Amino acid sequence: MQAGAVTDCTARAMRVVHSGPPQHLLRRHGVVAMMVRRGGRKRRRLRATPGYGGCRHRLHWRVRQHQRQGKHRHDHARKHAAREALQTEPWAAKVQHAQMVPARIRRCKLRQCYDAAMNYHHAFHAGNFADVFKHAILLGLIDTLKAKPTPFCYIDTHAGAGRYDLRHEEARKTGEFIDGMQRLHIATSLPESLRRYFDLLRAANAGDENGHLHIYPGSPLFASLALRADDRLVLCETQLAEATALKRLFAGDPRVGVHQRDGYTALSGFIPPHERRGLILIDPPFEAQEAEFRTIESTLAKTCARWSTGIHAIWYPIKLRRQTLPFLRWFAAHGVKKTLVAELMIDADDSPLRLNGCGMVVVNAPWQFDRWLERLLADLTPLLARSPRASHRVEWLTHE
């Protein structure tokens, strides 16, 4: 790649432009062109300015570094450079690439390359302890909304495929469901707080004549089984294969709308729903943890302002608890009211190499929901504990 090349993150992004783009495009995207003399001839030099231009210029530098070190061919170098930037660089979180905005860069190639290089596929983790924790809380929130007869709307920003077959190679390779839903399946007695979760898990496997639990429902399927006929589901998923599976799963269900879109940016068009009541589940893959937290914060700042009465449930992983503290402090610092956090640790948070626990932040938590969470986690912790150091907590981050 030549030294005078530039990476442009519009529709022509990630393509090397040897002759240099037009001046109006350079100004629009934050890059300043200067004519300099080198070796007796004029050559255009591109200098990045703060904002989007700075991000693009540094991403271009990363691509060149990958090529020079012989790590990847050009088509793979750009994917790995984008993924590495989103995971490790503070500037990638500060600019709005991770949110696929502004609108004129709706198909931002940095995000597309990150998606192309994404390692996370939930089929490897379906039914693990984090899924049990998340879905039990989700059903509890849905039941509180169903306490009133008026309909409500459920919005899922990262819906996934909707259902997962635990007999497939992905699930068998990791076997994470064995230390998750399988522990509940073989338990001699199940506490009342988990009865609702397990009943719907069996309902998702009603087609199995032998009563085996080979199918694990994702959040969309759990929600669809719990919702009433006049409630509504809005499901967002960016990955083509997962979105196609969702459409196939819910074909013919008039309550469900599936959108192959980035859930963060799509929220502004879905809220407030016409029902005026409802729940947003934000459950991203967290491959780039710091960037993901910052994206969630900027999204919540907008959605809480537009829909102040809506329930927001945000799931997050815990490897080292101190890594989550800035995110949890954000709610009080920005005046987000009625915020409750629940965390389940199946082991001590002393290793960044494994998932030691997970948490759920609930904005606009329903009345007395903290008491219900206390009972749930007290029942769930001994069933899913990986070591004697397992623990749980329920705490109010902010009050009214």
- Residues that are catalytic: 283
CB 326 within 8 A of CB 289: no
For 194, the token pair is 């988990």
Quickly count: other Cβ atoms within 10 Å of residue 190's Cβ.
Answer: 15
My answer on whether omega of the bond before 149 falls inside 30° of 0, hence cis, is no
Q: What is the longest distance spanned by two Cα atoms in the chain?
A: 84
Report the SS3 class of residue 395: strand
CA distances from 344 to 181, 213, 283, 318, 355 (A): 15, 24, 16, 9, 11
Q: How many whole angstroms separate alpha carbon 117 and alpha carbon 44?
A: 32
Residues 6+ apart with CB under 8 A from 329: none
Burial tier of 182 (Cβ tally within 10 Å: 0-12, 13-18, 19+):
middle
Report the SS3 class of residue 95: coil
Q: How many whole angstroms separate alpha carbon 5 and alpha carbon 61?
A: 10
Give the H/E segment covering residue 114.
helix 109-116
Q: How many whole angstroms separate alpha carbon 337 and alpha carbon 364?
A: 7
Burial tier of 313 (Cβ tally within 10 Å: 0-12, 13-18, 19+):
buried
Dump the DSSP string for 223-250: HHHHS-TT-EEEEE--SHHHHHHHHHHT
